[in-house]
Chain A
Amino acid sequence: MDSDREAAFEAFVLGHQAALFRVAFLLSGDRHHAEDLVQGTLERTYQHWRRVAAAGNPEAYVRRMLVNAAADWRRSRRYVVEQSLDSDLALPSQRDGGTDRVESHDVVVRALRGLPARMRAVLVLRYFEDLTEAQTASVLDCSVGTVKSQASRGLARLRAATELRPGAGEIRDRSTP
């Protein structure tokens, strides 16, 4: 890779790595796996940088790679999650105290962890990354209709979780056999 491309790649990593890490964290529910996902995604980005840069929107391209990597990772570990209060996703409430709002946030994020990979990706891209339905569909390589239905069902499941307000419990991902 020539020096201009190296510089462009370095600038891209420094500019987007934090955002990618946070998306990876929400997709995986674990900061260590998030680090691995981002590292692997950036390695593939470097491998294909010429094509990524030529695509015109490297951020979208790499975001798609990250979402696919997260889905592969979830499939590979036969995702059965023991939710516990000391999981990474529960840490903020422990730090911030136990207000109703914070508890509600934690319940939402914990419930996110039990959703199927695609539904989870839709919610993260729509409500954390603030992508439009069309942008989300582009990242996930699916139709806008799929994004709408997945978002609607995902929100319903998160809403049900907040209404039930479970404590520590077990959520089993039904998307994997």
Chain B
Amino acid sequence: MSTDFEREVSAAFHHAADPLPVPRPDLDAIRRAGRRRRVTSFTVAALAAAVLAGGAAAAVLHLPSATSRAAGRPGASARPRPPATSPPAPGASPRPPATSPPAPGASPRPSATGPAVPAAAMADVRAFYSGYPAAARQGQAAVDALIRSYAAGWYAPILQAPAQSGYPPDCFDVAAHGGLDYAPAGLAGGQAIIAVSSSDASGQALYAVVTADQATGKITGIACATGGAPVTATGARDSASGLYQAYLTLRRQGDSPREAVAHIVGAPGYSGGPESESPYLGQLQRAAAWPVLTYDPLLCTPAGLPNVSVTAATVVADGSAGVVELTPSTGLPIVTVVVLGAQGWAVASVACHQP
């Protein structure tokens, strides 16, 4: 330390901090919480190991469950499972049963994420959904044009790829568009969250959780969610965290974004794997956009491998989806929407800012 000012700064810091009464450490509480963390981290490590070993490790980590036994596939239970939904019958809709539709005219429960959704974002989302039936009747070229008009430039090619979940890009049958309900669900990481909802003929509520750039109103993600799925903030947070942990591990080992996505989608027992119908990763795998993507579609950055931490998780769309905000060590926040289908938790959209 050499200058007077540096000495002054040091004195100021000690002046502020030294007189503070120091709380007594609660060693028992620290130990209890530390043990709980160990259990959690073991689970995450097991997931990563299953991914890295391409399924070989999954056999070692196998915890038997009804679904994995039926599927004859080891390791399927290593990911979180929906608490009370049954697997769909072969050929049946992937939507889980037994939920009530919203009352006529009622809005889905908004989340408590603070400031209002900008009117421009609401208007763009409404315009996209209003124009969709006519575009669908005209054909794929018209749908593509509509998507290019209302979706962010980087997201449009991904949205145009066939969805693995079986839902159309907008999540709804064309016939349902007349009765769509739009509800603002707050802001997260610079994205406006809008819950678009409908009910099918059986009364099952269905949601599209749409993220739109807060500044431009352009759609950055559409996640299809079934009404009444018991989504929790913790489950959504764990799902997003698990995906990014595995993805970053693979990327740091030298995988390209495309290779890392393929590894994860192909790994049984992982929440982004084929069993859990991960719509976003599925679309990414099928997207013809890879040659034109100049950025990493999960990390939302053109270069570098930042650390990513989960900073907030909120349940939206009447409890049917979780919005998880992630903060990379460099760059702008990433917003993921996590859903809970009959096969487990899955990241259903990843919203970037313009990379």
Contacts and interface: CB of A to CB of B under 8 A. Distances in A.
Contacts of A124: 13
Q: Number of contact residues on A: which range applies?
A: 35 or more
Contacts of B311: 72, 75-76
A155 B6 contact: yes
Contacts of B38: 47
A39 B29 contact: yes
Instruction: Please classify the interface of chain B as helix (H, G, I), strand (E, B), loop, or mixed, using the class held by over half of its residues.
Output: helix
B12 A76 contact: no
B1 A127 contact: yes
Interface string A103-145: 0111011001000000000011001101000000000000000
Given A39-B30, A43-B37, A76-B327, A177 B20 contact: no
Interface stretch (A19-27, A54-62, A164-172): A19-27
B24 to A, nearest CB: 9
Contacts of B31: 46
Contact of A18 (B8, B10, B22, B27): B22
A75 B12 contact: no
Interface in B1-50: 1, 5-6, 8-20, 22-23, 25-27, 29-31, 33-35, 37-38, 41
B39 to A, nearest CB: 10
Interface residues of B, number: 37
Contact of A92 (B19, B22, B26): B19
A46 B17 contact: no
A22 B33 contact: no
Interface in B39-93: 41
A26 B5 contact: no
B266 interface: no
Contacts of A81: none
B15 A92 contact: yes
A174 interface: no
Contact of B17 (A26, A104, A106, A123): A26
Contacts of A49: 34
B30 to A, nearest CB: 5
Instruction: Please classify the interface of chain A as helix (H, G, I), strand (E, B), loop, or mixed, using the class held by over half of its residues.
Output: helix
B305 interface: no
Interface string A27-45: 0000100010001001111
B262 interface: no
Given A21-B20, A25-B20, A159 B5 contact: yes
A135 to B, nearest CB: 14
B34 A128 contact: no
B309 interface: yes
Scoring B17, B27, B31, B38 by chain A CB atoms within 10 A of each residue's CB, the highest score goes to B17
Interface in A48-73: 49, 72
Contacts of B16: 25-26, 89, 92, 105-106, 109
B94 interface: no
B20 A22 contact: yes
B110 interface: no
A128 B13 contact: yes
B23 A105 contact: no
A75 B25 contact: no
Interface of B: 1, 5-6, 8-20, 22-23, 25-27, 29-31, 33-35, 37-38, 41, 190, 309, 311-312, 327, 332-333
11 contacts: A39-B33, A42-B25, A44-B34, A46-B33, A47-B38, A75-B311, A76-B327, A105-B11, A108-B8, A108-B13, A177-B332
Which A-B residue pairs are the 8 nearest by beta carbons? A46-B34, A105-B12, A108-B12, A76-B311, A22-B17, A128-B13, A43-B33, A18-B22
Given A13-B27, A17-B22, A162-B8, 9 more contacts: A10-B27, A22-B22, A39-B26, A39-B30, A47-B38, A76-B309, A104-B12, A108-B8, A128-B14
